[in-house]
A and B are shown apart, each in its own frame.
Chain A
């Protein structure tokens, strides 16, 4: 029961965000705000243009710290001609785009406060299946993955213990079996129709 109580807020986060993801819709409780600022004299390493993936993100960390942009760094776009790096940085509920001009060592930082619903969606999709070599480059997102994993393991454990608790209740066995069978039929029927 205590394990269930502990993970219940996490289950709510995953369940509520499903509605936003399935319907590609985000409620706008407060209006999105956006701010732009410029930071100069960034500490950029000389071999920045030769790097990619996790090495590039690690090399950019001092510059992002100087620019005071914490968060999970996404796919960095390198615009070779313009000698620019476009770096998306995410904190649940806040998207920041840092455009670094390598030549002038200057960054233009655009910060968008996207709100609670967007934060739930970000958390639901984190870390995600793409770019495993660059993901989880911020401690808090690594911690979120641990929590998300723990939520899954506890859900599996609680569901198995729930089955046992139901099974020992003789009066509920027949109704429960009917519902279990109906659920299995719906699930496997739908999955079969989708796959074949």
Chain B
């Protein structure tokens, strides 16, 4: 029995070469399959994008309603063979049993004073280590589900304008990979939908008008504004 996703309609004729028919069938299948697999990712990034676009929506406020705890711990100073800020930070985090993405927000001037942040969606750790006194002060902030949703949208471990920060947590890399996969999946779905539209001759003209209008408006923002102003 042929699959229900096989193209049916005036675009299909017995003369259509077999490879083209096969391409059309698999194009439809892949469109469905990619969409279904990525559905929850797409919903998350779409919805969180909307929230990020509207920072004035008070119901999604998270930082002002955060819960903070402060504590101090004695630590063993990282040994001499633990070289570099990143390795030292990992050593301290292991002792504190904290996991997450390390963020460098200050420049280290005093070798005995070591400040850094650790983040993962919903959790912020502000760590101040005094290596001379062998203790650390940790300020931990926990945010609500809106904060988690927004953080998942932007949790890449890197910043475009700050080369100091690079991904150093395996789960950040995994999440960044999933962001790439969702983006690639969306591109694939857009291209496959264009193929499916083009296979419908009666809808080619109105579709082309709508697509041209969308491309024109989008192109205005991407390149047109620079030409106009």
Question: Taking beta carbons and an 8 Å cutoff, which residues of A are in contact with B?
Answer: 1-2, 4-16, 18-24, 26, 70-71, 91-94, 113, 116, 119-121, 123, 127-130, 132, 140, 143-145, 147-149, 152-153, 155-156, 159, 162-163, 166, 169-172, 175-176, 179-180, 182-184, 186-188, 190-191, 193-195
Contacts and interface: CB of A to CB of B under 8 A. Distances in A.
A184 B43 CA distance: 11
A12 B191 CA distance: 9
Given A155-B46, A194-B120, A194-B175, A92 B1 contact: no
Interface string B200-219: 00010011001101110111
B172 to A, nearest CB: 8
B182 interface: yes
A183 B181 CA distance: 12
Contacts of B206: 2
A1 B203 contact: yes
B10 interface: no
B226 A94 contact: yes
B51 to A, nearest CB: 8
Interface string B164-205: 000000010011101110111011001001100100000100
B113 interface: no
B59 interface: no
B43 A156 contact: yes
A23 B158 CA distance: 7
B36 A9 contact: no
Given A159-B35, A176-B32, A176-B36, A187 B223 contact: no
A179 B38 CA distance: 9
A148 B153 CA distance: 15
A9 B5 contact: no
Interface residues of B, number: 71
B33 A194 contact: no
A180 B37 contact: yes
A9 B219 CA distance: 8
A119 B224 CA distance: 11
A92 B160 CA distance: 15
Contacts of B41: 183, 187
Contacts of A9: 211, 214-215, 217-219
B194 to A, nearest CB: 7
A152 B47 contact: yes
Given A19-B180, A71-B229, A180-B36, A5 B207 contact: yes
Contact of B49 (A148, A175, A176): A148
